[in-house]
């Protein structure tokens, strides 16, 4: 992994844009979080990468950390100003939107769910209404 960090450092030193997007709308930060390359996440954030950048589905890097239980990346994103209540698909009102906490909960990612709750991450009322009684018990254990 350190080899990847060195390559990223060289690219940024040579002028690579930390804000660039691929055809899915993903930034280098989205990719680093997806693969949980924490040193690269730290480096990109230090170089000004936007922790609230959205992809074509409205996913921020924090949504990716939530979905895959990358709690350490989530902590760095939150410290850098990531919105713990950002919603997916915000440009498509016909779709169900999700906050990072909701994604963590739905995917049973308890470590990152706790990080998100501590940072003020919430769930929408529509999400809560659809939970089964068993799910609500677990949901309430997060201090919601």
| Residue spans per domain, the chain | 2-140
What are the residues whose beta carbons fall under 8 Å from the beta carbon of 124, sequence distance 6 or more? Answer: 87, 97, 99, 102
Let me know: does 106 contact 63? Beta carbons within 8 Å. Answer: no
Res. 93 pLDDT band, cuts 50 70 90: low
Looking at the predicted structure, is the pLDDT value of residue 36 above 80?
yes
The least confident of 24-28, 84-88, 127-131 is 127-131
Average pLDDT over residues 106-115: 91
Mean pLDDT of the chain: 91
Res. 137 pLDDT band, cuts 50 70 90: confident
Which among 98, 104, 69, 62 is positioned nearest to 83, based on CA atoms? 62
Q: Which CATH number fits domain 2-140: 1.25.40.20, 2.60.120.380, 3.30.1370.100, 3.30.70.1140?
A: 1.25.40.20
Which among 35, 78, 63 is positioned nearest to 8, based on CA atoms? 35
């Amino acid at each position: 992994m350190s080899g990847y960090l060195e390559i990223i450092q060289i690219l940024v030193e040579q002028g690579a844009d930390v804000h660039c997007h691929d055809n899915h709308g993903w930034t280098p930060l989205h990719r680093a979080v997806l693969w949980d390359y924490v040193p690269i996440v730290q480096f990109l954030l230090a170089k000004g990468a936007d922790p609230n950048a959205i992809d074509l589905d409205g996913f921020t890097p924090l949504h990716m950390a939530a979905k895959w239980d990358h709690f350490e990346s989530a902590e760095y994103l939150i410290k850098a100003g990531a919105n713990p209540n950002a919603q997916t698909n915000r440009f498509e009102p016909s779709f169900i939107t999700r906050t990072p906490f909701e994604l963590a909960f739905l995917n049973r990612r308890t470590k990152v769910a706790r990080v998100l709750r501590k940072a003020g991450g919430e769930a929408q009322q529509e999400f809560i209404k659809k939970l089964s009684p068993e799910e609500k018990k677990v949901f309430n254990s997060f201090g919601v």
